[in-house]
Amino acid sequence: MFPDIHTNFWDAVIAVPVVMILTQIVKLTLRPSKTYVPFIALIFGLGISIFISHRESLLAGIFMGWFYGYAAVGSYASLKTTILAYLKKVRREPS
């Protein structure tokens, strides 16, 4: 019923940063609305997973592509929040 998903450390180490980079390139060049950025990351994640990482199974590609896309979104949001909090602390801005 469920697909056999064979993934490894390199899928996450390569796929998620590539999705982040491609999404940033689209943000800089096309300037989409902020509401569409997670969808763009999801499309890149699905594309990498379906056509590169998990070509043998469409269901596995969709399943893992969802994780690639949203892992990139979560990683970006976490990194941005951390940097903004650090800068606020360094500048000693009131909270």
Q: Which tens digit of pLDDT belongs to each residue from 84-95? A: 999 999 998 665
Number of domains in the chain: 1
Contact yes or no for 49/65 (Cβ under 8 A): yes
pTM of structure:
0.85
Q: Is the pLDDT of residue 20 over 80?
A: yes
Confidence of residue 6 (pLDDT cuts 50, 70, 90): low
Is residue 5 situated within a structural domain? no
Contact yes or no for 15/68 (Cβ under 8 A): yes
Is residue 1 situated within a structural domain? no
Q: What is the pLDDT of residue 92?
A: 83
Is residue 38 situated within a structural domain? yes
Domain coverage including residue 37: 10-91
Is residue 60 situated within a structural domain? yes
